[in-house]
Amino acid sequence: MKKFLVLLFFVVLFSTVQAQKGDYELPEQSSFTDRLYYGGGFGLAGGSGGISISLSPIVGYMVSNRVSLGLGITYRYYKYESSFDSYSDNQWGGQVFGRINIIRPLFAMVQYSFLNYSYAGDQNDRRVIERLPIGLGISQPIGGRSAINITAGYDVLYIDNNGSPYGSPWVFGVFFSI
């Protein structure tokens, strides 16, 4: 029943959900390509023998001035070395998302994503973890159709277990759109 309610909420929110594109207003007779926007994020973290590098490009479609839908891919490289152990992993996944402008600069968002990763360092035991963060974001225009976006969401599918690449149900992000 819980999964059904989560799915129902996702469908309702997703069917009514736009990434803010700065102060760009969509002309009424816009072409398909005028409605497309591109962006994504890049991550780099390191310390105490570990390093993580991630790349997440996205493409979105502005359904209206308030609503957008999109998809993206994710690649992450993770490496950890210590005097006792060594581990590296190539992780990959995808996402679909929806956004709706509430009031400038605030927007609501929902994003379904999955990540394929090796469980507990065993390259032969690959697993897929799914996420469904629902939350809010703020968009800061940086010129024309470009914006920097900061998001915070809560993953309603989060399961706290050993071996998960995520340590919390909270999902924070910074990404750019053009």
Q: Per-residue pLDDT for the chain (178 aa), expressed as one digit of tens each?
A: 555 444 444 443 333 333 334 445 777 788 999 999 999 988 888 888 889 999 999 999 999 989 999 999 999 998 888 888 888 899 999 999 999 999 989 999 999 999 999 886 677 889 999 999 999 999 998 887 788 999 999 999 998 776 677 889 999 988 888 8
Summarised one tens digit per residue, pLDDT across range 36-64 is: 999 998 888 888 888 999 999 999 999 99
List of domains in the chain? 2-23+31-177 (2.40.160.20)
Measured distance CA(79)–CA(76) in Å, rounded: 10
- pTM over 0.85? The answer is no
Element (H, E) at 60: strand 50-62
Tokens describing residue 6: 């989560």
| Nearest Cα residue to 54 out of 14, 95, 84, 22 | 95
Summarised one tens digit per residue, pLDDT across range 97-119 is: 999 999 989 999 999 999 999 88
